[in-house]
Amino acid sequence: MATPITMPALSPTMEEGTLTKWLVKEGDSVEPGDVIAEIETDKATMEVEAVDPGVIRKLLVPEGTEGVKVNAPIAELSTEGDDEDADADAEKPKEQSSEKAKDKSADARKDPPKQSEKPKAPAKAPPSGVSDGKRVKASPLARRIASQKGVDLKSLTGSGPHGRIIKADVEGASGSSGEGKPPPRGEVSLIEPALLDDRVYPPDSYDITPLDGVQKVTARRLTQSFMQVPHFPLTIDLEIDRLLAARKAMNESAEGRVKVSVNDMLIKAAALALIEEPDANASFTDNGIARHKGAHVSVAVAIEGGLITPVVRDAHRKGLAQIATEMKDLAARARERKLKPQEYMGGTFSISNLGMFGIKSFASIINPPEGMILSVGAGSQRPVVRDGQLAIATVMSVTLTCDHRVVDGATGARWLEHFKQFVETPEAMLL
């Protein structure tokens, strides 16, 4: 028999993926290590390699199929000896059928059917929209309207292709028990699915763009984080004139070999502050507080349809030039969705910088299991008071969001003190 090729788990958190593209076709020969498909996970698009040699007998999952569960068969591979076994297996049913036919013929001669026995009535066929009593074949729009009207899709007969239930079938049906209807005006339901009320937004007044893997995982994880993690924010202002001057001097001396950004310097400062305040470099677990030995800084990178957080590992041990080079490479491959799982997992702290968009101050949602995330705003010239005198300085506001189960207010404040020192006196990062 054929050897199944299954959907691989390309990251520890992967539960399902999208089979983006087949790179082989039925009948192709493959060797171990040959790339056979592209799979879109929750964070990236990755290549799948063949494990065994053989011939692709059948592709079970079409290109573009979403929600393919890990370990579900996606193709069949014929290995050496499979064809002979298959031929032998194919002959067996014929022989068995012949024997059964003979047995039936003999039985018919021995025991003719009794006249009193009536043939059983055929089972009533289910509505055409029902597939084998399991999943109802219906368009997404029809499902949404049915949920809003409280219509049981199993009771409908579909007029679409292959009996699929479409919008017109649902609109012509009446609601039953009222289940699934939107809550009355003025009331809020916390268990209703995220559907738009067609009394406010007619179905033909907008278009639905399906969620991709990144958006689904981001929505689920951030909702869980916001509801389950007790957040609290701490905000301070930093004077960054010396940091900007140091960055300019470094880039001029590098003569184009490398270009250090403000964000690169903040990554280094954050990592050093985590080492100075190890109680802040921690994660909450059911077994206790996990205090990390290395400062692995996750950096939010905007990609099409969402964001991803590639990790600069052991950033406290790396120079600014190395951090700048790594971040440039990680960000580029993140936007192409070419990161490996180990390149966007395992961070102990996060930085999200919206300063380039002119955002002055904001607070981010914690990225579990990390215990803190730093939100960086835009630097701008602001009035400051020095020794009782009014002066102008380039000031940047940052907000540290903490998981109170791990980092209390005093610990977070101490971390910010260390971070402030490294930012406002950047030469301290060289010591």
The three-state DSSP-derived secondary structure of 6-59 is ECCCCCCCCCEEEEEEECCCCCCEECCCCEEEEEECCCCEEEEECCCCEEEEEE
**273, 282 Cβ separation under 8 angstroms:** no
Q: How far is CA 294 from the centre of its chain?
A: 26
Distance between CA atoms of residues 165 and 334, nearest Å: 40
pLDDT of 211 over the 90 cut: no
Rounded to two decimals, the pTM is: 0.65
Average confidence score pLDDT of the chain = 82
Distance between CA atoms of residues 379 and 356, nearest Å: 9
Maximum CA pair distance of the chain?
Answer: 116
- Of the candidate ranges 99-103, 134-138, 261-265, 396-400, the one whose mean pLDDT is the lowest: 99-103
| Sign of the C-alpha dihedral computed for residues 297, 335, 214 and 359 taken in this order | positive
Distance between CA atoms of residues 88 and 16, nearest Å: 36
Label residue 354 by pLDDT band (50, 70, 90): very high
pLDDT of 397 over the 60 cut: yes
Q: What is the pLDDT of residue 313?
A: 97
Side-chain-side CA neighbours of residue 207 (13 Å): 1
Mean pLDDT of 288-307: 93
Q: What angle do CA 202, 206, 207 make, to 5 degrees?
A: 135
Residue intervals of the chain classified under CATH 3.30.559.10 are 215-430
Percent of the chain with pLDDT over 70: 80
Q: What is the pLDDT of residue 85?
A: 44
CA torsion, ordered 207, 210, 214, 217, to nearest 10 deg: 110
Distance between CA atoms of residues 10 and 126, nearest Å: 40
What is the C-alpha radius of gyration for the chain, rounded to an integer number of angstroms?
31
Distance between CA atoms of residues 83 and 80, nearest Å: 7
Instruction: Give, rounded to a whole angstrom, the gap between the first and last alpha carbons of the chain.
Output: 65
CATH code for the domain defined by 130-205 = 4.10.320.10
Distance between CA atoms of residues 354 and 377, nearest Å: 6
Distance between CA atoms of residues 249 and 258, nearest Å: 12
Q: What is the pLDDT of residue 219?
A: 85
Phi, then psi, of 258 in degrees rounded to 5: -155, 150
Tokens 């290109």, residue located = 63
What's the pLDDT tens digit per position in 166-210? 877 887 775 543 444 444 433 333 334 567 777 788 888 989 888
Mean pLDDT of 252-278: 96
Residue intervals of the chain classified under CATH 2.40.50.100 are 3-78
Distance between CA atoms of residues 344 and 213, nearest Å: 15
List Cα–Cα distances, 29 to 22, 26, 36, 77, in angstroms. 14, 9, 10, 9
What's the pLDDT tens digit per position in 73-97? 999 998 765 544 444 444 444 444 4
Could you list the beta-strand ranges (E) of 115-262. Answer: 130-131, 135-136, 231-239
Mean pLDDT of 111-139: 52
Q: What is the pLDDT of residue 146?
A: 80
Element (H, E) at 89: helix 82-110
3-class state of residue 290 by DSSP: strand
**163, 170 Cβ separation under 8 angstroms:** no
More confident residue, 110 or 392: 392
CATH code for the domain defined by 215-430 = 3.30.559.10
Write down the H helix ranges in 277-400: 320-335, 341-344
Q: What is the pLDDT of residue 318?
A: 96
CATH number of this structure's domain 3-78, picked from the four choices 2.30.30.40, 2.40.50.100, 3.30.1370.160, 3.40.1190.20: 2.40.50.100
pLDDT of 114 over the 60 cut: no
Distance between CA atoms of residues 130 and 124, nearest Å: 13
Q: Which of the residues are catalytic?
A: 404
Q: What is the DSSP string of 239-288?
A: E-HHHHHHHHHHHHHHTTS----HHHHHHHHHHHHHHHSGGGSEEEETTE
- Of the candidate ranges 167-171, 267-271, 310-314, 393-397, the one whose mean pLDDT is the lowest: 167-171
Q: What is the pLDDT of residue 51?
A: 85
What's the pLDDT tens digit per position in 229-238? 999 999 999 9
Mean pLDDT of 152-162: 78
